[in-house]
């Protein structure tokens, strides 16, 4: 495992929700970070078939464009009754004809697919959010960190916090959806904490333990 020996990195994302969550996680660690969106980097085509492959594509593109280490996230909602869909195509389900993303539409699409499968009870609607972080260096070296959180899909959507599919995902052991949780409750984590709740925070915990701690 390669240790990160700089506090200057690029957040390899154009997704403002992800950029905000990653900034919340790395900020307390003293990082100076700019996003690929701020730097006007071209978004690479995500041609991978796994979260790991797509995370690496994004991180390597930003690392090579900037000459700095870059941290990316590829994440998605994996629903058992739908054979793992939308999975790596989670963002694609939200795409509209004009190229924008409509997650209200995407959540309705998920609900229709579940109803078509006859999955109406919570035990039939089990799912997990998956996040894979990739830390890449300009020389092509990468480190990957995977975090998952189990739960189930609810309907109708609940809460206006978070982003993406958060309002329809209720994590195991909780009565509220990610959309009803504050940012601190959902993904707040700092070194020394024993546990992290969100998929992204769990992946970030592994990143810190592997690449930052002595």
Two tokens, residue 18: 């992800």
pLDDT tens-place string over residues 47-81 = 999 999 999 999 999 999 999 999 999 999 999 99
**Domain ranges, ordered by start, for the chain:** 8-212
Please state, in angstroms and rounded to a whole number, the distance separating the CA atoms of residues 107 and 121.
17
Q: How many residues does the chain have?
A: 214
> Which active-site residues does the annotation give?
74
Question: Does residue 26 have a pLDDT over 90?
Answer: no
Among 138, 107, 133, 139, smallest CA distance to 212 is for 133
- Tell me yes or no: is domain 8-212 CATH 3.90.950.10: yes
Please state, in angstroms and rounded to a whole number, the distance separating the CA atoms of residues 128 and 142.
25
pLDDT the model gives residue 35: 93
Q: Which residue has the higher pLDDT, 183 or 133?
A: 133
Question: Does residue 41 have a pLDDT over 80?
Answer: yes
| pTM for the structure as a whole | 0.91
Q: What is the mean pLDDT of residues 35-43?
A: 93
pLDDT tens-place string over residues 68-77 = 999 999 999 9
Question: Does residue 94 have a pLDDT over 60?
Answer: yes
pLDDT the model gives residue 194: 66
Q: What is the mean pLDDT of residues 186-209?
A: 82
For residue 10, the cross-strand partners are 34, 70
Q: What is the mean pLDDT of the chain?
A: 92
CA atoms within 13 A on the CB side of 29: 26
* Stretch (H or E) spanning 32: strand 32-35
Q: Identify the DSSP state of 130.
A: E
pLDDT the model gives residue 183: 83
pLDDT the model gives residue 32: 81
Among 36, 52, 32, 34, smallest CA distance to 44 is for 36
pLDDT tens-place string over residues 118-161 = 999 999 999 999 999 999 999 999 999 999 999 999 999 999 98
* Stretch (H or E) spanning 35: strand 32-35
Question: Does residue 214 have a pLDDT over 60?
Answer: no
Neighbours of 84 (CB within 10 A): 16
Please state, in angstroms and rounded to a whole number, the distance separating the CA atoms of residues 66 and 48.
22
Phi-psi region of 69 (alpha: psi -120 to 50; beta: other; left: phi over 0): beta
């Amino acid at each position: 495992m390669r240790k990160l020996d700089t506090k200057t990195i690029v957040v390899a994302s154009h997704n403002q929700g992800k950029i905000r969550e990653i900034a919340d996680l790395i900020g307390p660690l003293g990082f100076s970070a700019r996003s690929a969106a701020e730097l006007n980097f071209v978004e690479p085509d995500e041609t991978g078939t796994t979260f790991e492959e797509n995370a690496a594509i994004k991180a390597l593109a930003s690392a090579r464009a900037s000459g700095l280490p870059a941290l990316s996230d590829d994440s998605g909602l994996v629903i058992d009754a739908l054979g793992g869909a939308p999975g790596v195509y989670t963002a694609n389900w939200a795409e509209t004809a004009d190229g924008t993303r409509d997650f209200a539409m995407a959540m309705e699409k998920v609900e229709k697919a579940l109803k078509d499968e006859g999955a109406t009870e919570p035990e039939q609607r089990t799912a997990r959010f998956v996040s894979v972080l990739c830390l890449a260096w300009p020389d092509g070296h990468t480190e990957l960190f995977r975090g998952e959180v189990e739960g189930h899909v609810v309907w109708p959507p609940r809460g206006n916090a978070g982003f993406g599919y958060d309002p329809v995902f209720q994590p195991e052991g909780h009565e509220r959806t990610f959309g009803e949780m504050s940012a601190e409750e959902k993904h707040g984590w700092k070194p020394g904490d024993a546990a992290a709740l969100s998929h992204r925070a769990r992946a970030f915990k592994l990143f810190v333990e592997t690449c930052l701690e002595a």
